Amino acid sequence: MERSEVMQRLAIVRARIEAAMVAAGRGDGAVELLAVSKFHPASSMRAAYDAGQRAFGESRVQELAQKAREVADLADVQWHMIGSLQTNKAKELLGVPGLVMLHTLDRAGLADELQKELSERGTKLRALVQVHATEETTKHGCRPNQVRALLAHVGAKCPSIAVEGLMAMGPLEGDPASTFSVVHALLHELRTETGLPLPVLSLGMSGDLESAVLHGSTMVRVGTDIFGARA
């Protein structure tokens, strides 16, 4: 995709987010845009960067590491890992410069492996617990009734991991409102029960960002509507 088209599409997505915030009665800046650059070339990502975008999401560790090397001259890029993470990829992920958040913490074993690597490095990792709130078997994440146990495990055993909230995906088909409502309500309950601020709710993609913003999302993950269809 041409550089100018990426920049134009990015502007349209930003306008959609602004309009959604107004419609939901939420303040300016309440929702962050994460540009999902997976399966797109670094040149497209650079075009978005030149238009002011700094936060980018990738779903595969190998592609994330490669792309981070390709744009190493862009010192303030913020990388988010949004794909399911295999335990044996934890070390490689944590070696990516500019990594700021993992969106897919979904099991104690993964938390333990991350903690081991983080402890050896003397670093911290911001993370979101991924919630599987639909009936689709293709999706990953904790079921809503498993999230409390995972939070308790991280709190007791993984001091180098800072859980900042929840991430979830809407259904492939149909109205996402009920899914988003469940996850938003769960986050509110967890804040009350744990006393943790849990400021981040990562909901919404290209096709359902308006509904996500209406249901409290603080971060939307948009790829196709910025970069075009994936190859």
* 3-state secondary structure (DSSP) of residue 115: helix
At 231 the pLDDT is: 63
Binned at pLDDT 50, 70 and 90, residue 172 comes out as confident
- What is the model's pTM? 0.95
pLDDT, average across residues 72-78: 94
CA atoms of 189 and 148, how far apart (whole Å): 10
Number of structural domains the chain divides into: 1
pLDDT digits (tens, 9 = 90+) for 144-158: 999 999 999 999 999
Binned at pLDDT 50, 70 and 90, residue 140 comes out as confident
Phi and psi dihedrals of 97, rounded to 5? -70, 140
Q: How many CB atoms lie within 10 A of CB 55?
A: 18
Structure tokens at 162: 């800072």
pLDDT, average across residues 197-201: 98
Structure tokens at 201: 């709710």
CA 166 to chain centre: 9
Binned at pLDDT 50, 70 and 90, residue 24 comes out as very high
pLDDT, average across residues 120-146: 92
Binned at pLDDT 50, 70 and 90, residue 209 comes out as very high
Structure tokens at 204: 């919404």
**Residue 160 lies in domain:** 3-227
CA atoms of 27 and 39, how far apart (whole Å): 33
CATH classification at residue 49: 3.20.20.10
CA atoms of 47 and 227, how far apart (whole Å): 10
- Are 63 and 89 a contacting pair, CB within 8 Å? no
- Are 146 and 186 a contacting pair, CB within 8 Å? no
